[in-house]
Amino acid sequence: MVAASPNPIHNEKIEAIELPVIDLSAERSQVRNLIVKACEDYGFFKVINHGVPQDIVAKLEEQSLSFFAKTMAEKQRAGPAIPLGYGCKTIGFNGDMGEVEYLLFNTNPISVAQRSKTISNEPTKFSSAVSGYIEAMKDLACEILDLIGEGLWVPDTSVFSRMIRDVENDSFFRLNHYPHHLNKDCNNNINSSCSSKVGFGAHNDPQILTLLRSNDVGGLQISPQDGLWVPAPSDPTAFWVNVGDLLQAMTNGRFVSVRHRALNNSSNSKSRMSMAYFATPPLNACINALPEMVTPEKPRLYKPFTWGEYKNTLYSLRLGDTRLNLFRASTSDELAS
């Protein structure tokens, strides 16, 4: 029997902490320094005055809500998510469950257009909304990554963003919907605990960077230390940014891949919806600590690997498993580098 993801533990500590908010319209040298500090301290921050047009967000939200309002039978025509497509409660392939339904896309416009045919009665309109949003997120992610490169004072400031701009990038995009009525709609796992309020269980994102936008219903939390969870207040006009495993590896542990989760506030009369863009390099991209990040005092923490190798590892593990530890450098690796 497939086991449900664990419920939030009663003795967990929930604490409201003022998380970093960065105004991208401020003076550039100040912005890059603030981003680097946020990545070091939390691996997580909010950006405002980001330049993403509101109509791009509004069009996608309208199309998304229209899809999630369909009957379960209609939505299931866009699935199952293996891994792309429509999924309900089941997350991944190894037994993780959550009170969530979602659509997962590869960000390639041709792939989006093809998949939209099973999602919408107006596939061109839906595809246009998704691809327009993805393009805006790609531009924003690359801008933030260039600022990170500048803030780290590396010679090649586009070392991170170049991977995302590569035509072979493996970036993907997910629409998450956390409806309060999901328990009665999703009947594909009748043995799971329907009282669970875990929408998307605790995990670290494996990619370089994630950009997340949600509506005005809260639920996102980060864990800056074991046992402590900090709510990230909803702000439909802003984007939350979090460091992924690959960026932690490339900065040799200077940046932290933040652990986070989403709770489904089922008592709320309004459903939560979020849009997550995962900035990811090509499958053959070599992930290695930048030379400037390795010193005698801070030796190399991780052995080189490709994104393809890391991605394959993901499919063999549970959602909450720690993956980077599997790529820890040994003493012999360090001597050979």
Mean pLDDT within 190-203: 57
At 112 the three-state DSSP class reads helix
Is 10 part of any domain? no
**3-state DSSP assignment of residue 189:** coil
**Which neighbouring-strand residues pair with 317?**
none
Position 187 in a domain = no
Question: Catalytic one among 174, 272, 318, 323?
Answer: 272
Active site (annotated) includes residue 318: no
- Is the pLDDT confidence value at 234 over 60? yes
- 189 within domain boundaries: no
Q: What percent of the chain clears pLDDT 90, i.e. is strictly above it?
A: 69
- The CATH number of residue 259's host domain is 2.60.120.330
Alpha helices in 257-320 (DSSP H): 307-314
190 in any annotated domain: no
Q: Which of 149-153, 184-188, 256-260, 271-275 has the lowest mean pLDDT?
A: 184-188
For the chain, the domain total comes to 1
- Tell me whether residue 211 is in a domain: yes
Q: Is residue 1 part of a domain?
A: no
Helices (H), 173-330: 182-185, 245-250, 307-314
Through-space distance between the first and last CA atoms of the chain, rounded to whole angstroms: 46
Rounded to the nearest integer, the mean pLDDT of the chain is 87
Residue 165, number of CB atoms within 10 A of its CB: 13
Q: Is the pLDDT of residue 272 over 90?
A: no
Residue 13 belongs to some domain of the structure: no
Interval 28-64: pLDDT, tens: 999 999 999 999 999 999 999 999 999 999 999 999 9
**Domain coverage including residue 242:** 22-181+195-327
In a domain, 5, yes or no: no
Looking at per-residue confidence, does 94 or 22 come out higher?
22
Residues 170, 319: Cα–Cα separation, whole Å: 19
Which of 8-22, 34-48, 250-264 is predicted with the least confidence, judged by mean pLDDT? 8-22
Rounded to 5°, the CA angle 134-200-16 comes to: 95
Surface-to-core class of residue 190, CB atoms within 10 Å of its CB (0-12 exposed, 13-18 middle, 19+ buried): exposed
